[in-house]
Structure 1
């Protein structure tokens, strides 16, 4: 009996080893992104639901979005999949998985400001009012063009971390961030004297997709199928709400003045319909 049990264990171990060896490595960039735990978990969920054998592996060190896209494009590149805001250019260079992983939250932008200027937007009602203030952004972010084409002044930096110091020394007035990014970034830098504006939210059509290297179209299809299955069985929504609900409660989007901006970098006809349940919509403010 013991010999039989030992043989069964050996067979199971061999099967596990064979499966592990057969699993394809999927490499993704390690962004300086406070929400990367969510996106990595969503990617892992999609791969698990795909029914295929994949193992995720981060590519270090941390890199800018533009660099990761270039490395995903190249024939000998070492990036298989990344997550970023969709644009026409990115959809032409890479294979988009047209599932808004962030439910469009990237298009809801709240501002990091200096504590001594916490009330600077108290009387801002329109985009024209906002033109008296200068925003800060990284030079290769799509947001930079979106803000500028709306007539809003923008100062750029080549390094993400530099933007916080530039705000502190008054190189610009506010740093628009995603609703799921702002507080984590402020909380991580208590010595800088920053806070999150409570009066306004910028909103423009946007979606954060997984983008796959053109070398692996089958991977894009597997991620798409996995996301659809996760959406259908409720596991994707559970993951989304577990990560974002505390941040959305803190953001109080329904109590802010919404300043609508156009997004010239997307083809709106390729986004899901506005009434799709895959988009996030704030609940109306309670009376």
Structure 2
């Protein structure tokens, strides 16, 4: 059986194959050319690895993950995927019909989890937030986001007050000093984030959740539709046999329970 490789020099050796999802239908190896994370301290996505591995296993395939040498941010990922060049698969949340050359799978990878936002606040402000029962009460308070982040546009369109001028360190400092009121962050990352900020007087606000539609799908260039069809078939099998939900609960179920998502006041945003 073909030996499985990962990263490094193999990228150079297999570059001519970067545009090919899998060479022949009877081969048991699927080469997935993925973008390296944009920052060196961002770990590889173990949930995505596990999901892809299971989905292709349902189709009788093994997966060979090959990462780009150069890191890519989201903009670069979309550009490279649109050219059908160095990568052949990515997981993205994109506006519908915004990239006609890119096709995507039908199942929401994170089941809408990335559209759920909790608030990092100053610990001294907890009683104030506990009294908030409507989004109208929250809107005059100053939220923090970068203007280049998708949440910034969502909050602005929904009438929230947002400071988008600060870098990350400046945001946490603004919360500490009272220059801002809250910092919406993804449910999937907020616990680890606050742990890193434990030396500051910050906490996860325990009663409020912002939620808006945000779904991630696997995307590829239309030239790689054979790859996409294979992946789609595997994902649907995982959904039908319950393994999709089992994997999601394995990675995110405890996190959702620890953050008490089901008992929070949910403010739905467009």
Bin the TM-score by the shorter chain: 0.7 to 0.9
Q: What is the match of residue 215 of structure 2?
A: 207
Asked if the contact 1:107–1:206 (Cα under 8 Å) also holds between the matched residues in 2, the reply is yes
Find out whether 1:152 has 2:160 as its counterpart. yes
Q: What is the match of residue 28 of structure 1?
A: 34
Q: What is the match of residue 56 of structure 1?
A: 65
TM-score, length-scaled by structure 1: 0.73
Find out whether 1:166 has 2:176 as its counterpart. no
Following TM superposition, the consecutive aligned residue runs of length 4 or more in structure 1 with deviations greater than 4 angstroms are: 18-22, 32-35
Distance in 2 between residues matched to 1:178 and 1:163, nearest whole Å: 15
Asked if the contact 1:167–1:174 (Cα under 8 Å) also holds between the matched residues in 2, the reply is no
Alignment map for 1:1-287 (pairs within 5 Å): 16-17=1-2, 23-31=29-37, 36-76=45-85, 78-88=86-96, 90=98, 92=100, 94-156=102-164, 162-170=167-175, 172-262=180-270
Q: Show CA shifts across 1:98-139 (max 9, x none).
A: 201111112221112233434442222222211122323344
Distance 1:185 1:55, change over 3 A: same
Asked if the contact 1:25–1:56 (Cα under 8 Å) also holds between the matched residues in 2, the reply is yes
Structure 1 stretches lacking a partner, 5+ long:
1-15, 263-287
Structure 2 stretches lacking a partner, 5+ long:
6-22
Distance 1:118 1:70, change over 3 A: farther
Distance 1:257 1:35, change over 3 A: farther
Distance in 2 between residues matched to 1:108 and 1:117, nearest whole Å: 21
CA RMSD after TM alignment: 2.8
SS at match of 2:246: helix
TM-score, length-scaled by structure 2: 0.78
SS at match of 1:242: helix
